[in-house]
Structure 1
């Protein structure tokens, strides 16, 4: 390989020098190459992040109504990468609360640029929005009272089940009732805390949702020992950040940030912080070890849904 000899005595391969020069030129011209949502973010010097108010441990309020959580930490890492990528060190961050019903419309109409909560990436939603690489993998189960006679889905006949409106869990449950002609009454609440309250007050015999959400609701209950996560998993789902359809530049920034976290060990540390350690506001520990499916994702980051 040809080399360039500098007066300092340092030998630089021409190929490496060419890459360095190309990188410098790319940085100089990058701001002019921004398109779509990135150009808009740069022009207004603000990125708008969607967050959830009660999706423990992904995105939720602490006692001071500060947004915290596993997904929130990942969102902040994406913002750091974005600031560097578009040369906007003073980029402002605006936060907007979303729920399961309005999060997709708010992405589609341009109100928010990126949503990192506990949103499932599936094929149907991928027709409307884009998703980042997977940040978590969950399964859907039931939360019941400890003294309940409900131990599986087949025990739900004649019962009332709570579920959070606008979620893939609600869609699955309604499909199950229709296909099985099951005698199940469904109560859909606006958010997870509302769904748990339906169970807590006795209006529902079970709460059907992602297992990590159920574990968090149980852990934050007045008497956690009164509830149990039970039943065979009904689905396995990929959790990811959500962004506008067709915004390849923004997606590339999100994906490379997530890939860096997951392959460097930083992502595993984040997971342990939020799923295996005491967390605010009550110092609860969800004790949810990383699944084999999520370990595989961390080894090979990807944006594939799990509803094949």
Structure 2
């Protein structure tokens, strides 16, 4: 059984393990020195990274464990442990840039802007811009959003993508919420007309709502956004190990199996499926892995 150290969700952020003047030259060297790999996780991002109920679970969590196996093998240190550290939409980047965490595999879109601060692995999911609307609303395309009240979560790429896609000629009002759940609840409570995000994130939030709500998901199409693991900036040795691990999984079919486990089969502890079969674009990505950033 893999050993894990789970930080309390009410605890403090762990401080950098080694003084900057004594810091090893690479993340692998630090992990070897401390005997610990520190991974970020989200508490509510079903099906990618969430607490289930006391330990992290999800597609991104499974990928983190595969990286842990690769690190143990490369360092010939089967005793390397995994320490989980909770992150949020607003803390995920600072925790990586401050060397608090070594890796974060959740719902992080690889963008050119974020490349200035962190590196990314090869992508493992392509998200479709979608909306959660009440079942009685006739909203089927982006053009139908004109004049509507839109809810989004702060510190996401959603608003920027909307502006790029719709342009400035289509009026709409955006209200920002601290979390995805609050943004979705705004639609449920009729405070907003549509909640915009990734198809899988919306599906996960609907599962978490745990009710027979009158909401449905509408796909808006457009260029898919690549989700990838967030990595330390400039550490090519660590990134190469993560990329090699994922590419082998894509070639062997293991990545597809993990995808189906979380996005096709019933999600553990929820008893329902998101029913998101692998897209043709993602199949092609697994055939030709890429770490390219999302281009608007």
TM range (shorter): 0.7 to 0.9
Cα 1:48/1:218, change in 2 over 3 Å: same
Q: Is the 8 A contact 2:128 2:220 kept in 1?
A: no
- What whole-Å deviation, never above 9, does each CA across 1:137-189 have from its counterpart, x for those lacking one? 11111110110132222222332111111111132235567x42543222222
Cα 1:171/1:100, change in 2 over 3 Å: farther
Question: Is 1:124–2:113 an aligned residue pair?
Answer: yes
User: Which of 47-56 and 154-163 deviates more?
Assistant: 154-163
Structure 2 runs not aligned, ≥5 long:
1-23
* Structure 2 counterpart of 1:265: 253
Which protein has the larger Cα radius of gyration, Structure 1 or Structure 2?
A: 1
Among candidates 287, 291, 294, match of residue 279 of structure 2: 291
TM-score normalized with structure 1 length? 0.83
* Structure 1 counterpart of 2:188: 200
Q: Is the 8 A contact 1:54 1:191 kept in 2?
A: no
Query: In 1, distance between residues paired with 2:94 and 2:162?
Result: 22
* Structure 2 counterpart of 1:31: none
* Structure 1 counterpart of 2:64: 75
Among candidates 135, 141, 153, match of residue 152 of structure 1: 141
Q: Is the 8 A contact 1:218 1:224 kept in 2?
A: no
* Structure 2 counterpart of 1:25: none
* Structure 2 counterpart of 1:38: 28
What RMSD in Å do the two structures reach over aligned CA positions? 1.8
Task: State the shift of 1:133 in Å.
Answer: 0.8
Structure 1 runs not aligned, ≥5 long:
1-33
Q: Is the 8 A contact 1:163 1:207 kept in 2?
A: yes
* Structure 1 counterpart of 2:151: 162
Task: State the shift of 1:87 in Å.
Answer: 2.4
Task: State the shift of 1:240 in Å.
Answer: 0.5
Q: Is the 8 A contact 2:129 2:219 kept in 1?
A: no
* Structure 1 counterpart of 2:86: 97
Structure 1 segment 177-188 matched on structure 2, within 5 A:
179-188=167-176
Q: Is the 8 A contact 1:276 1:285 kept in 2?
A: yes
Bigger fraction of residues in helix: 1
Deviation above 6 Å: which 4+ runs of structure 1? none
SS of the residue corresponding to residue 237 of structure 1 reads strand
- What whole-Å deviation, never above 9, does each CA across 1:240-266 have from its counterpart, x for those lacking one? 000111001110111111111111011
Query: In 2, distance between residues paired with 1:201 and 1:65?
Result: 29
TM-score normalized with structure 2 length? 0.86
Q: Is the 8 A contact 2:59 2:262 kept in 1?
A: yes
Cα 1:155/1:251, change in 2 over 3 Å: same
Task: State the shift of 1:224 in Å.
Answer: 4.5
- What whole-Å deviation, never above 9, does each CA across 1:221-246 have from its counterpart, x for those lacking one? 34446111115224411110001110
Question: Is 1:138–2:146 an aligned residue pair?
Answer: no
Among candidates 36, 39, 59, match of residue 49 of structure 1: 39
- What whole-Å deviation, never above 9, does each CA across 1:70-124 have from its counterpart, x for those lacking one? 1100110001100111222211211111112221111111111100101111222
Q: Is the 8 A contact 1:153 1:231 kept in 2?
A: no
Q: Is the 8 A contact 2:188 2:215 kept in 1?
A: no
SS of the residue corresponding to residue 123 of structure 2 reads strand
Query: In 1, distance between residues paired with 2:114 and 2:154?
Result: 15
SS of the residue corresponding to residue 134 of structure 1 reads coil
* Structure 2 counterpart of 1:66: 55
Question: Is 1:304–2:292 an aligned residue pair?
Answer: yes
Structure 1 segment 162-241 matched on structure 2, within 5 A:
162-173=151-162, 179-224=167-212, 226-241=214-229
